[in-house]
A and B are shown apart, each in its own frame.
Chain A
Amino acid sequence: MPEEQSIDIQKVANLARIALTDEEKSKLSGQLDSILGYINKLNELDTSNVDPTAHPHSVFNVWREDKAEGELPIEEALKNVPEQRQNMIVVPKVVE
């Protein structure tokens, strides 16, 4: 685990699609550095021979049969959409 690092807040905020003010950035930066410093204590543990826990119970092959079970009626589906046209959701043109 990286011993001394500081989060590049702007880079991560971009990845997370959250705009931060300069004030927020500097406040968060300090808080997250201290949280990360705390989290680094996991370095004390030797986990070289340990398997990760992906799920609390070892279950596999959970599936359903291929049957159409029903759809949401379109009024319900679009109920919360801020803007719609021709039964489609209007979204800003996002640069590909």
Chain B
Amino acid sequence: MGEELQFKTAGELSDLLKGGSVSSVEIVQAFIDRVESVDDRVRAFNSYDAEDALAQARASDERRAKAERLGELDGIPVGLKDNLAVKGQPLTCSSKILESFVSPYDGTCIQKLKANGAILWGRLNMDEFAMGSSTENSGTHTTSNPWDLDRIPGGSSGGSAAAVAACETPVALGSDTGGSIRQPASHCGVVGLKPTYGRVSRYGLAAFASSLDQIGPIARNIDDAALLLNAISGYDPHDSTSYKIDVPDFRKAAADDSDRKWTIGLPKEYLEENSDAAAIKPVLDAIEFYKSQGIEFKEISLPHTEYAVATYYIIATAEASSNLARYDGIRYTSRAESFDGKDSIDIYHQSRALGFGEEVKRRVILGTYVLSSGYYDAYYLKAQKCRTLIRSDFERAFESVDAIMTPTSPTPATLKGAHAEDPLAMYLSDIYTISANLAGIPGLSLPCGYVDGLPVGLQVLGKPFKEDEILKLGWIFESAHAYKDHHPSL
């Protein structure tokens, strides 16, 4: 039993804990053992504190002994992307500039997890400051895709997705600004959900692009994703952009058996001929499956799709250039040891030059440029207007369909180093995920098959605050297929 705990879902572990047949310490130990056994190859973790995790587990067991279990996740490890603030734990964002930073406070999602009794487990690797789609931009190391160690796990929540796929944690939190939960979930054959903007508090998430970022769950199945989403959702007075709206029971909604007639939109711009049909065959098969269940599909148009990447990279880099200004080498970040020039402004220049990786520099400079004097109207303002057009595309589409289905990624996981010299090509690979962040709508990726042994994800996009609907749609597919039970061999 002890050796199989790491292959169980959070839901299953929760039932086992409730039934008393296993303890949280046993569970946590199983995952520690698993990490020690496979992470030398997967390298999902930046760091983890086994002693602390076991101490949390013991506290959980004590609560359970007194029948004082806090929540459904009490005693269950939740892996954390290394950009989520946990008091007393490192918060590196996989950047050298924060390599020694320890957070003095808990973010709201973390507070909610603590209130639920979850075991806060490890610091998971990511693209530096969430900028990237491969986790190759990490300032620490590159994570490997558990399905093929020569390939990227996707990004920026590559560590989170790989850890879940490799069973190093039953569930994890990631963050998604342009696809950073959904795309790595797709590459790693797991479930990833980006909530509606404002559904989950951003307080405690090191900001990349404030109007696009969301924290979300990565899990092996729909039920676990719903379980985690239940725990972290809700209006937060510490985040002005979080939305005052009721939180349904996502678990219940996902498993809801009622006979609803769905209409799903297929955006013609997403499936045009320049898409490599072979690379997304499992997605097309999945669509056939849904049809076989009586679900209606219709072609829709999202005419401004081709402008999404350009719009995104103006807005995201502009906001990021301002959000990352605080990492200045002056106050709480790594500081350049020596700097030339008697003008001490140089310490900013040198510390940031040493502390930031190439992709971060590229985006900060681009973002600074598009906001600079004389260019604001032409770039930032223009992009915000294009964003309105992209949002309207979705609003119009949702008048006639309940949800939209697309591939999550144009191709499965590429080999490490594939886009090393071509950042633009890397940006273009975000084409399917980016629009959801611009429109603020929720999106789910679930595993729907393989191409050449590599996982492929189906993306389901929903109406604002309708995470329950996309979870339900995902569940319909999942319950008829075995992908959630597949594990990479490590």
Contact = CB atoms under 8 A, between A and B. Distances in A.
Interface of A: 1-2, 7, 9, 12-20, 24, 28, 31-32, 34-36, 38-42, 44-45, 47, 50-57, 59, 62, 64, 72, 76-77, 79-82, 89, 91-95
Given A16-B321, A38-B424, A76 B104 contact: yes
B58 interface: no
Interface string B343-378: 111111110110010100110111011001001001
Nearest to A48: B385
B354 to A, nearest CB: 9
B177 to A, nearest CB: 13
A50 B382 CA distance: 9
B211 A1 contact: no
Report the 6 A-B pairs with minimum CB-CB distance, sorted nearest first: A56-B440, A52-B384, A92-B344, A19-B349, A47-B385, A80-B332
Nearest to A21: B353
Given A28-B365, A38-B310, A57 B345 contact: no
Interface string B220-246: 000000000000000001001101000
Contacts of A72: 104-105
B330 A91 contact: yes
Contact of A39 (B100, B314, B344, B464): B314
A68 B424 CA distance: 47
Count chain B CB atoms within 10 A of each CB in A19, A51, A52 and give the residue with the most: A19
Contacts of A35: 313, 366, 423-424, 427
B387 interface: yes
B368 A41 contact: no
Given A39-B313, A45-B386, A52-B384, A17 B198 contact: no
A54 B384 CA distance: 7
Interface of B: 100-102, 104-105, 197-198, 211, 237, 240-241, 243, 304, 306-307, 309-311, 313-314, 321, 325, 328, 330-335, 343-350, 352-353, 356, 358, 361-362, 364-366, 368-369, 372, 375, 378-379, 381-389, 391, 423-424, 427, 439-440, 464
B344 A93 contact: yes
Given A50-B388, A56-B211, A15 B332 contact: no
B361 A20 contact: yes
A95 B385 contact: no
B361 A24 contact: yes
A91 B331 CA distance: 7
B328 A17 contact: yes
Contacts of B306: 41
B101 A31 contact: no
A24 B365 CA distance: 12
A52 B388 contact: yes
Nearest to B104: A76
